[in-house]
Amino acid sequence: MKPLIALTDVSRTYQAGPALCGVSLTVQPGEFVAVMGPSGSGKSTLLNLIAGLDRPSGGTVVVDGVDLATLGEAALARFRRRRVGFVFQFFNLLGSLTVAGNIGIPAQLAGVKPRIAAQRVQKLLDQLDLVGVADQFPARLSGGERQRVAVARALVNRPALLLADEPTGALDSRAGDQVMELLAGLHRGGQTIVLVTHDAKLAATAADRVVTLRDGRVLDDAPLATASGQSASALLRIHGPQREATP
């Protein structure tokens, strides 16, 4: 299968120093990859390079068959709008637009016909359980609802790739769980997702592969087996196997 993302020996150096050093990474269509690491490990830099929001100092970034270095600024912006969806920690919704309006913006910017765009918005409102708040403004919504709107907005142009940067970072644990369940559902539907997080539980629970970054390098790239069917005692012993001492 042709990889959806292929990074080859990618480096990014800022004035303060190197943020990424020689990172190579491929992601196949349909994968859910979590990129984990402490702050300063380079994970957001990596995400920005994959998204075409930033350009590498060295190496190549190929996304959906396109070498991003071959694109000028305008072409790169078009590429981002059409092929990549973003979800951020802070939802970045426009306060002056309704939920439906926010979801529709990227379609409008990408020049999708209004009738088609409206259909897609309606479908996403249904799919993400947002029909009831379609005409509300973001200020009236809970954090979890805002993030669902942000996910819907990220999906409206049917991107090949969904990028999520600490999507539960500003949510309480219940709303966070719901957003992660939403991402897991999209993944089951075939959506390729790259999730950046410092939260091991989030990474391991949702993703089928965990890439650990440290100091701008890939420390480990671990495939995870689907959790299913294991007996409780194979996972967890409340008491160790040794015999109890005589009471």
Query: How many of the chain's residues bind another protein (CB under 8 A)?
Result: 31
The rounded Cα 238 to chain-centroid distance in angstroms is 35
Shortest Å distance, C-beta 113 to another protein: 41
Distance CA 23, CA 31 (A): 19
Shortest Å distance, C-beta 237 to another protein: 6
Distance CA 188, CA 182 (A): 10
Shortest Å distance, C-beta 194 to another protein: 17
| Of 23 and 150, CB closest to another protein | 23
Q: State the sign of the Cα–Cα–Cα–Cα dihedral 55, 58, 61, 67.
A: positive
**Per-residue CA distances from 72 to 75, 81, 163, 235 (Å):** 5, 14, 22, 51
3-class secondary-structure state, position 106:
helix
Q: Which of 166, 212, 216, 218 binds another protein (CB under 8 A)?
A: 212
Residue with the two structure tokens 């196949």: 28
- Interface positions, 150-209, toward another protein (CB under 8 A): 200-201, 203-205
| Of 135 and 220, CB closest to another protein | 220
Q: CB-side exposure of 163: number of CA atoms within 13 Å?
A: 23
Shortest Å distance, C-beta 184 to another protein: 10
Q: Considering the rule CB under 8 A, would residue 236 count as an interface residue with another protein? A: yes
Q: Considering the rule CB under 8 A, would residue 17 count as an interface residue with another protein? A: no
- Interface positions, 32-51, toward another protein (CB under 8 A): 38
DSSP label of 146:
H
Paired sense of beta strands 84-87 and 161-165, if any = parallel
| Of 112 and 218, CB closest to another protein | 218
User: Which residues here bind another protein, judged by CB under 8 A?
Assistant: 38, 200-201, 203-205, 210, 212, 214-215, 219-220, 222, 224-225, 227-228, 230-233, 235-240, 243-244, 246-247
